[in-house]
Amino acid sequence: MAVSASRNVAVLGPIPRDRIITHNGEIFEKYGCALYTVAALAALLDPDDRIHPIVHVRREDEDAIKEMLSAFPNVDLTGIRSASDHGAVVELTYTDQANRIEQQTAFMDPITPADVEFALDADAFVCVPITDYEVGQATLAYIKSHSDGTILLDAHGPTSTLVIGGERKRRLWVERDSWLPHIDVLKMNLEEAGCSWFPSPDALAHHDAGNPIPEEQLPDFAEHCLRHGVQAVCVTLDQRGCVAYHLDSGGALVEEQVPRIVVDDVVDATGAGDSFAAGMAFGFLQDHDIVSAARYGNAMGAQRVSGSGLDVYRPLAETDKQIAATYGEKS
């Protein structure tokens, strides 16, 4: 699909009120998840482009969320709704820079086909759910059948669930193959891939959800996804960047290693994955090249962890310089 002169991007996911306890023992509260995705896209896209966050929030949080997003002139607030007065509240306790324990005390209503109706002309739908029910298969199927926009899904949603008491746990994505035809770009980390790959008949019975996928199995997993309708798969590798997969014109699997962009001082890792998703969506819209998309993903993730506010994201020209400094100029 050709990129239009003026682009529209929808972002589907919660904007939870987070209480964060860092690995250094610091405690602070702020809004997160899709908020980071929207802010990162706002920095990359032009002033006349439009970003449409689609989210259910609590009435007590609505004004604060809208005030923060109103700082970005290319963000449309139509899809931020509080009619049900249901929004997410999450406590995140980091055990180190990359790992955390999650407790959820309030829950967003799921995003339904009716919620996305106004944005079906979007060039891309960036889905960043944190729990399996928030952006469901039916909603993705509706978008796929009523829109030409690229659908990017962060697998953090379908590989996470809530148990009694609000504790968030990993889950097996056993219904994976019924989702794949409705996804264009699939983004996940090694643990989420481990929740999504069952290469032997007895794998489910012996699977320990949450363990990272053995990296030698990544090509087989990625190829499975690509043979079931996905255009590109990207798996983040913590401090080593990410690996991206696609099929070439002859149908053969192509694997591309994309090293990370180094950050000397990691201030706050919250929202790094949500920012990575924003960069990937932007890069994929540029030329449908998964390596370029992964580089933008790495850049926005690196920018996110360099500070704690929404002002960490750089304009496109500066981000392009950051990418060129790491990977070299575009050929």
In tens digits, the chain (331 residues) has pLDDT values of 444 468 999 999 999 998 888 888 888 888 999 999 999 999 999 999 999 999 999 999 999 999 999 999 999 999 999 999 999 998 888 888 667 788 888 999 999 999 999 999 999 999 999 999 999 999 999 999 999 999 999 999 999 999 988 888 899 999 999 999 999 999 999 999 999 998 876 655 555 656 899 999 999 999 999 999 999 999 999 888 999 999 999 999 999 999 999 888 777 778 899 999 999 999 999 989 999 999 999 999 999 988 888 999 999 999 999 999 999 877 5
pLDDT at 208 (0 to 100): 60
* pLDDT value at residue 21: 84
Structure tokens at 266: 């990691």
Element containing residue 17 per DSSP (H, E): strand 17-21
State residue 210's pLDDT score. Answer: 61
DSSP-assigned states of every residue in 160-191: EEE-TTSBEEE---TTHHHHGGG-SEEEEEHH
CB 77 within 8 A of CB 69: yes
- Cα–Cα distance, 325 to 169 (Å, whole number): 38
Cβ within 8 Å of residue 292, ≥6 positions away? 283, 284, 286, 330
CA atoms of 56 and 187, how far apart (whole Å): 23
pLDDT of residue 159: 96
- Phi, psi angle pair for 174, to nearest 5°: -70, -25
Q: Are 44 and 316 in contact (CB under 8 A)?
A: yes
Separation of CA 161 from chain center? 16
Q: Which two tokens stand for residue 280?
A: 């990937």
Q: What is the rounded CA–CA span in Å between residue 171 and residue 174?
A: 9
pTM of the model: 0.92
